[in-house]
Every structure is written in structure tokens, then in C-alpha cells.
Amino acid sequence: MKFEVITLFPGFFTSALDQSILKKAQNKALIEIYIHDLRPFGLGPHKVCDDVPYGGGGGMLMCVEPLVKALESIPKVPQKRIILLTPQGEKLTQKKLKVLSEYDQLIIVCGRYHGVDERFKAYIDEEISIGDYVINGGETASLVLIEGVTRLIPGVLGHEGSLTQETFEHDLLGYPQYTRPPVFAGQKVPGILVSGDHKAISQWRKKKALHITRKKRPDLLDELDHEQD
């Protein structure tokens, strides 16, 4: 999988992409991450990449020409997806991450300021948001997307089976989990988990996951019921 990120702030990624799972995945050649600085594609001697919006209003917009030039400079593969990160986009979910993990190349454009010139949207495949809130730019969001997709690539995680037991799998939150010590501050690990009865443990986990989801995120169950109708 190739990740190509277009950004005004390439230094933002220096440390984040060189840690933990992302670093290991790169070392194992399971993913490649390329950060493309938008500034060299800017306009005029000052390499301008933003300007005031027509019609007035506060803030600045990212100019269409530098964005298109940066996008066109990236070698493409047939199985690619061009994504603009913006609060107006479809909310990122585990299901969406799975879909994106099937591509060979994700080209991620990090929005900034008050957004991008609307004409640039003719060059992308989709808009994605990481949630119903506003942050300073798409750089943070791109890290969320890259890590979420990377975890789903075969060979990245040490135990592939763990993917099927995680939060948001099967539209449920995760079940309670425990590790050593067996007793802490008077609280004991549930006996079923040390019983060795794997069938009973599986049933207990499903029941707890359903209970937690109903309590904390009933909207997920509503969505599941809607899909099954």
C-alpha cells in the first residue's frame, strides 16, 4: 500500500510516521508513505498556496492550481483513491477503513484554513471527515486514516485474529478485558475468563459487547438493525 500525502506542513509528519506500528510496517515493506510538500507548487515568486475567497468573508482558501499541480506530479497506480480530508466529508468508520485498505494507493489531500477552492473537488474521488468537529487541518486527520488503514493490511499486526475482536467489529464496542494480576484492590478477574471453557468465554464476550454497546452507543445497534431490514 502506498500513502501519498499532500500538505502545506510536511514537518508535521516527521516523528509520527517513524513510530510503533507505522514504522514496523514500513520496515517490512508492507506500506510506503510519501509526504508531498504543497509549497513548491505555489503561485508566483512567493509560492502562494492560499488566497481570500471571492464574495468576501473571513479566512483564506487553498488555491486550486497548486493543489492540481501537486496531485498531477504524483505517479498513479490503477487501484488508487484520491481523498480530500475535510469536515464536510463522509465520517470515517471502521467499515470505510476496510474499503480503503483494498486499494493499492491512497492519495490524501490535507485541507487547511477555510477549505479548498470548490473547483479542486472535480479532481478527487471522495471527501472524508474524522468526526463532527473542527481541527486546524487535515494533517492530524491523515494520521488517523493512515494508521487505521495500515492496521488492516495483512502482516502488519502480530496477531491477525485480534482484528476480529476489536471495538467496532460487527458494529459492536469491545468487550471488557483483563490481564495480570488476578486480583487488584479487591477486584477480581471474572471467573469465566480463567475457566478454560473457550465456548463459554466467547458467549460471555459477545453478551458483554452487546451490553456495553447498548449502554454507551445505542446508535450503533440502530444502524445495524437498519442495515438488516
CATH code of the domain covering residue 192: 1.10.1270.20
Same domain for 116 and 172, yes or no, is: no
**176 in any annotated domain:** yes
In contact, 142 and 86? CB cutoff 8 Å: no
Please give the pLDDT value at position 145. 98
Using alpha carbons, select from 109, 120, 9 the residue that is nearest to residue 64: 120
**20 in any annotated domain:** yes
Please give the pLDDT value at position 168. 65
2-42 pLDDT, tens digit per residue, is: 999 999 999 999 999 999 999 999 999 999 999 999 999 99
Average of per-residue pLDDT values in the chain? 93
Distance CA 151, CA 163 (A): 8
Residue type (1 letter), 217: R
Same domain for 43 and 130, yes or no, is: yes
**162 in any annotated domain:** no
- For 69, 190, 217, the CA distances from 5, given in Å and listed in that order, are 14, 45, 33
166-195: average pLDDT: 88
Please give the pLDDT value at position 57. 84
Same domain for 62 and 173, yes or no, is: no
Same domain for 89 and 178, yes or no, is: no
Q: Which of 118, 150, 182 lies at the terminal end of a domain, its last residue?
A: 150
**59 in any annotated domain:** yes
Phi and psi at residue 56, in whole multiples of 5°? Answer: 85, -175
Distance CA 160, CA 193 (A): 21
Domain extent for 113: 2-150
Angle of helix 138-150 relative to helix 20-27, nearest 10 degrees, comes to 60
Please give the pLDDT value at position 225. 65
Percent over 90 (pLDDT), the chain: 86
- For 171, 173, 193, 216, 223, the CA distances from 208, given in Å and listed in that order, are 14, 9, 12, 12, 19
| All cell numbers assigned to 99 | 474499503
| All cell numbers assigned to 88 | 464536510
Q: What is the value of pTM for the model shown? A: 0.87
Same domain for 100 and 43, yes or no, is: yes
Same domain for 26 and 119, yes or no, is: yes
**156 in any annotated domain:** no
Total domain count for the chain? 2
Please give the pLDDT value at position 222. 81
> Is the model's pLDDT at 159 over the cut of 80?
no
> Is the model's pLDDT at 169 over the cut of 90?
no
**28 in any annotated domain:** yes
Same domain for 144 and 207, yes or no, is: no
Same domain for 77 and 175, yes or no, is: no
Same domain for 63 and 137, yes or no, is: yes
Around Cβ 137, how many Cβ atoms within 10 Å?
A: 18
**64 in any annotated domain:** yes
We report the CATH number of the domain holding residue 54 as 3.40.1280.10
